[in-house]
């Protein structure tokens, strides 16, 4: 089977994770910009972070056999520092034009404050202007209200719903999104968010159209192999290999293909050449370089 993880924070993971993911059949990932665990205090830290997403991390993934794409955005948790948020949103357009950037994200609500709504709307407008998909985070608290307000704001801004994926859905919020033209994202996590078994139940109830599954793995307790594990659970539950390929490979790629930066035809495993350097730096630490013929 082949897989694509449409939302994973690889900057928080090790190269061992990349190797395990490639061995499990994952061919590529999308890494959205996100909160790093403590507040950033100046716009320069965002510049360095965005540079790493379009540069070093893309290189590091290729060294272990995965294709890496990213989304650029101001995470809702960081939108409440208005002076800093204004600077971050102002610099985003230059990054949205870079190679490998397939979406604006992740954006949305956290505490559902007026400041979060302001910058959520502004970033939806950026996605609309750049004709890019928008990866939307739904809040961990008061998720139903946050999802309702998200869908209302999407309609207010007037962005094409085909360009929007509403992520971190569950049994309560998925029915709201099914009624729209938005794509349906689900983060499968240890202990929280969504399990493989619950995901299989949702696929049985709502079908496979526009359904997307990701691991959202970051620096906390998470699992970068949750996408292939969901595939195994689908097969065990009687879904066909084509169903698995649709939900866990074709759907996310077709969604992000609206950016013009990615396509099904091009989603093949890259040739590994670990003698390559990124700005004179190697990803290796004394190991013998692997060079595939």
> Two tokens at 102?
């397939």
Cα three-residue angle 247-186-258, rounded to 5 degrees: 60
pLDDT of 286 reads 81
Helix 114-130 vs helix 143-157: crossing angle, to nearest 10: 40
User: What is the DSSP secondary-structure string of the chain?
Assistant: --EEESS--GGGS-HHHHHHHHHTTEEEEEEE----SS---SHHHHHHHHHHHHTHHHHHHHTTT-EEEEEE---GGGTT-HHHHHHHHHHHHHHHTSTTEEEEEEEE-SS--HHHHHHHHHHHHHHHHHT--EEEEPPSSSHHHHHHHHHHHHHHHT--GGGEEEES--TTTHHHHHTSSSEEEEEB-SSSBB-HHHHHHHHHHH-STTEEEE----SSS--TTHHHHHHHHHHHTT--HHHHHIIIIIHHHHHHGGGSS--TTT--PPPPBTT--BTTB-S-SSPPPPB--
Q: How far apart are CA 219 and CA 222, in angstroms?
A: 8
pLDDT of 107 reads 98
pLDDT of 15 reads 93
Closest CA to 112 of 78, 144, 139, 133: 139
Q: How far apart are CA 217 and CA 56, in angstroms?
A: 19
pLDDT of 262 reads 96
What are the residue boundaries of the structural domains of the chain, listed by start? 3-259
> Two tokens at 225?
């192999």
Provide block-wise average pLDDT over 10 residues at a time, the chain (293 residues): 97 95 98 92 96 97 97 95 97 97 97 96 98 95 94 98 97 97 96 91 98 94 96 98 98 98 93 92 88 90
66 touches 22 (CB < 8 A) = yes
Closest CA to 227 of 205, 245, 254, 210: 245
> Two tokens at 178?
């099914």
172-197 pLDDT, tens digit per residue, is 999 999 999 999 999 999 987 799 99
3-259 maps to CATH 3.30.43.10: no
Indicate the pTM of the whole model.
Answer: 0.96
């Amino acid at each position: 089977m082949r897989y694509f993880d449409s939302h994973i924070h690889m900057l928080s993971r090790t190269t061992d994770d990349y190797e395990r993911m490639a061995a499990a059949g994952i061919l590529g990932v999308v890494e959205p910009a996100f909160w790093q665990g403590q507040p950033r205090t100046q716009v320069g830290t965002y510049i360095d972070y965005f540079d790493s997403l379009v540069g070093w991390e893309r290189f590091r993934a290729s060294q272990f056999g995965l294709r890496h794409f990213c989304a650029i955005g101001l995470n809702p948790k960081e939108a409440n520092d208005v002076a800093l948020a204004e600077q971050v949103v102002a610099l985003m357009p230059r990054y949205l034009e870079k190679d490998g950037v397939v979406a604006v994200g992740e954006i949305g609500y956290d505490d559902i404050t007026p400041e979060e709504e302001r910058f959520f709307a502004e970033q939806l407008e950026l996605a609309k202007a750049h004709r890019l998909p928008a990866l939307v985070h739904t809040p961990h608290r008061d998720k139903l209200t946050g999802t309702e307000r998200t869908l209302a704001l999407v309609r207010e801004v007037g962005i094409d719903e085909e360009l929007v994926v509403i992520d971190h859905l569950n049994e309560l919020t998925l029915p709201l999104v099914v009624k729209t033209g938005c794509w349906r994202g689900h983060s499968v996590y240890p202990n929280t968010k969504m399990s493989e078994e619950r995901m299989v139940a949702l696929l049985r109830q709502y079908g496979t159209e526009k359904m997307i599954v990701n691991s959202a793995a970051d620096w906390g307790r998470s699992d970068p192999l949750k996408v292939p594990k969901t595939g195994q659970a689908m097969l065990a539950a009687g879904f066909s290999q084509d169903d698995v390929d649709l939900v866990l490979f074709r759907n996310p790629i077709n969604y992000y293909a609206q950016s013009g930066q990615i396509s099904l035809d091009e989603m093949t495993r890259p040739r590994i050449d670990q003698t390559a350097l990124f700005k004179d730096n190697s990803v290796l630490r004394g190991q013998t370089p692997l060079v595939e013929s």
